[in-house]
Amino acid sequence: MGWIKQHETFTSKELENYLDRSKSSVRQLITELVASNLIEHMGCGHATKYRVKLRLANRGKVLGLIEYNL
């Protein structure tokens, strides 16, 4: 859970770099996480950041999904 703890908010580009995945695969993952109500987006356009919903259980789910995509 280290990466999630260090990045309370993150951009899609930061997640791309962490996962070493393409922009399109990270966008798909982000879309799934938002639809599952595990993360929320803040801002719009190039200023968009994402944040894990506050519940600790969500952090574990998000971490699992991110690690699965490594």
pLDDT in tens, the chain (70 residues): 467 667 779 999 999 998 899 999 999 989 988 998 888 999 999 899 998 876 655 566 666 666 665 4
Q: Dihedral sign, CA of 11, 62, 33, 24?
A: positive
- Classified as helix, coil or strand, 70 is coil
Q: What is the CATH architecture assignment of 2-68? A: Orthogonal Bundle (1.10)
> Phi/psi class of residue 25: alpha, beta or left (left: φ > 0; alpha: ψ in -120 to 50)?
alpha
Phi, psi dihedral angles at 53 (to 5 degrees): -55, 155
pTM, whole model, 2 decimals?
A: 0.72
In the chain, where the domains are located:
2-68
Listed in sequence order, the residues at least 6 apart from 16 whose beta carbon sits closer than 8 Å to its beta carbon are: 22, 23, 26
